[in-house]
Amino acid sequence: MDNLIRIGTRGSQLALWQANYVAKLLQLHGAKTEIIVLNTKGDMILDKSLSKIGSKGVFTAELEEALLANEIDIAQHSAKDVQSQLSEGLELIAFTKREIVNDVLVSTNPKCTLNDKNLIIGTSSTRRVALLKHYYPHVETVDMRGNLQTRIRKLQEGQCDGLLLAFAGIHRMGYTNMISQRLEIKEFTPPVGQGTVAIECAVSLTKDKKEFIKKVLNDDATSTALTAERAFLFTLQGGCSIPSFALAQLNNDMIQMQAGIVSLNGDVIVKEELTGPKENAKQIGKNLAEFVLLKGGRQILDTIKVQQNLNILDNN
């Protein structure tokens, strides 16, 4: 096997942390690595919310083009950014061991919580905005795009009272001292894939290199959970700007999964749970999505897609 593995990544500090983490694991098992930085649409357009620029591949498309052109061997992504359906000729071959999956409130005030009055929260996530409207309707939100360091700077400048972010990124970047509240999964169920790094490659990558990468990087429990979660997202046909959520957790040989969708205004939330054997992970995710759609999720999703298509047209 050619032991050089070219790793494609976005250029943010968090993405580079993830790329270096992947590289070190590969190096420990004898591979040579090269990190290749590419800018994505989502990194370059920062003056519009994700829902207004379209969600399809905004953080992955350029990396996927490089895979198909054989300019890189693998692309590393935050798994929550990866579309539910990959382009032809691409596949996911590994998911790294999952971090704590919770959303957290980050603030310069260590006593800040979502119960505080007159609270302004920064977030670029439609899921988080919708869940705030549902559970904490008194909270005002402001759109907060940019890399983690940019958002922290805006927080410190007083543009908001707190930020809602994933624990994983905060932990990896060394900001855990700024966490003022860890949100309960029961209310703020994370999006599909939060807390793990996905490894994507071209189908044409050599078999021995694929097997080596998978052996080194893939965590079986995380991969099983992501199989269920991504099957949910695929069946729902939701992108990363749809306020859906799903979390599959392994308990011995069983998967316990909760998932759902919330309307943009927070008025309606549909949430279902399902448990089954881990070997049925994909079917569990599919069945759960079908339950959610039948219980009112279809109407929520159709309304959201109309609203977001109008937003995209208005901004073109």
Evaluate if residue 308 carries a pLDDT over 90: no
Evaluate if residue 271 carries a pLDDT over 70: yes
Do residues 221 and 253 touch, judged by C-beta distance below 8 A? no
| Mean pLDDT in residue range 38-42 | 67
Q: What is the pLDDT of residues 253-265, one digit of tens each?
A: 999 999 999 999 9
Q: Nearest CA to 80 among 247, 260, 224?
A: 247
Ranges 30-44, 251-265, 276-290: which has the least confidence: 30-44
Catalytic residue among 43, 73, 81, 116: 81
Instruction: Give the type of residue at 255.
Output: I
Residue reference for tokens 């895979």: 67
Q: What is the CATH number of the domain that holds 78?
A: 3.40.190.10
Q: Are 212 and 85 in the same domain?
A: yes
> Catalytic: 2?
no
In a domain, 189, yes or no: no
Q: Are 88 and 136 in the same domain?
A: no
In a domain, 192, yes or no: no
- Give the total number of structural domains in the chain: 3
Q: What's the pTM?
A: 0.90
Q: Are 287 and 152 in the same domain?
A: no
Determine the structural domain holding residue 145 and report its residue range: 103-182
Predicted pLDDT at 79? 95
Query: What are the structure tokens assigned to 274, written together?
Result: 């399902």
Predicted pLDDT at 60? 82
Q: Are 296 and 256 in the same domain?
A: yes
Torsion of CA 137, 167, 239, 7, to 10 degrees: 160
Q: Are 2 and 86 in the same domain?
A: yes
Q: Are 207 and 225 in the same domain?
A: no
Q: Are 77 and 148 in the same domain?
A: no
Torsion of CA 206, 208, 212, 213, to 10 degrees: 10
Structural domain ending residue among the three candidates 155, 182, 209: 182
Q: What is the CATH number of the domain that holds 290?
A: 3.30.160.40
Report the b/e string of 263-289 with b at 16+ CB within 10 A: bbebebbbbbebebebeebbebbbbbb
Q: Are 257 and 135 in the same domain?
A: no
Q: Are 148 and 283 in the same domain?
A: no
Q: What is the pLDDT of residues 189-237, one digit of tens each?
A: 999 999 999 999 999 999 999 999 999 999 999 999 999 999 999 999 8
In a domain, 191, yes or no: no
Q: Are 8 and 90 in the same domain?
A: yes
In a domain, 190, yes or no: no
DSSP state letters, 265-291: TSS-EEEEEEEEEGGGHHHHHHHHHHH
Predicted pLDDT at 52? 47
Predicted pLDDT at 316? 44
In a domain, 85, yes or no: yes
